[in-house]
Amino acid sequence: MGLLTLLLHGGQLAHAMQANPDTSKTHNQTHTFYTGAGYGSNLIYYGTSVSGNQPYYSAELLYAWDGGIWAGVGLFHLPGNQPFFSFVDLSAGYNYVINQVFDAGLSISQYFGGESLDTTLYSNYTFLSAKLGIDWGLAYTALSPGWLLAEANSFYLMVENSRFFRTPELGKNGNYFTINPGVSFMFGSYAWLTQMRRQGGGGGGQGPGPGGTKSFYNTTTELRENFRLLDLQLGVPIAFNTKRLSLEFEPAYFYNFIDDENGKNSGQFYFTAGVFLKIN
């Protein structure tokens, strides 16, 4: 699991640390710093393509305290957009491992979008999220409610299911591969405008209808909103890990259940790749 994933879904940090423990006998650090750089074919966040279905480059820095507190910054460059870092993510959170089955977390993120960044979200907004993780043994489930705080507040619920695999250590250096395939479902409030066409009638005409009544129609526009399944994502993060370095690649598929302007649902494949370094 890379820094980009940790930043965008910060509540998963505790589980990631459990799944990727430092097996060194001399490990006694309480403060750890990570840095990394990445590339992706599309930056999708909570059902929205922040990059406008375009590729992006990222640079990340993450601090983690073994007491559960973490903080990170992500800088995202979208080619053709100004300023150079068109999307900035500042995040912080706390994770707590309750027992071998349950863990929980809270996080807050502040996002800044450049003036030329065109998204269906707000250019600057705050996101609050919580998480309850359940390790079933054969699979891991995370329930993550979130609140987008902007001009109009929105509530989301992400349900993620994954299965973590780790190979035995390879060679004398203790390198290993990890794979964490998963599927996530995003639920949220969806609002749309709809036109209602109602038939009426009036007397005195000579058009069709009994008694010479002439029919007419009234068209009104109404705002409707409901809580529904917005999208699903399938991903297979694969990583090669050394004591300090991690090379990661994740192919993924995203399907949006919300109709686009042509009245169709949309699905697409995308990928992310990155290199991440443990500084200390």
Q: Are 276 and 264 in contact (CB under 8 A)?
A: no
How do residues 204-262 score in pLDDT, each as one tens digit? 555 555 555 555 556 655 556 678 898 999 999 999 999 899 999 999 999 988 765 44
**Contact 94/69 with Cβ under 8 angstroms?**
yes
For the CA atoms of the chain, what is the radius of gyration? Answer: 24
Partners of 102 in the β-ladder: 134
Q: Work out the pLDDT band at 20, boundaries 50, 70, 90.
A: very low
Length of the chain: 280
CA distances from 107 to 10, 70, 146, 189, 216 (A): 6, 9, 9, 21, 55
Question: Tokens in use for 78?
Answer: 């979208």
> Is 58:273 a contact under the CB 8 Å cutoff?
no
Does residue 48 have a pLDDT over 50? yes
CA triplet 164, 165, 166: central angle to 5 degrees?
130
Q: What is the pLDDT of residues 150-187, one digit of tens each?
A: 766 688 999 999 999 999 999 888 899 999 999 999 99
Q: In which element (H, E) is residue 96 found? A: strand 87-97
Amino acid at 228: R
Using CA atoms, how far apart are residues 226 and 206, in angstroms rounded to an integer? 43
3-class state of residue 140 by DSSP? strand
Domains of the chain: 3-21+28-187+226-278 (2.40.160.40)
119, 90 Cβ separation under 8 angstroms? no
Residue 259 to residue 249: CA distance in whole angstroms:
30
* Alpha carbon distance 28, 33 (integer Å): 14
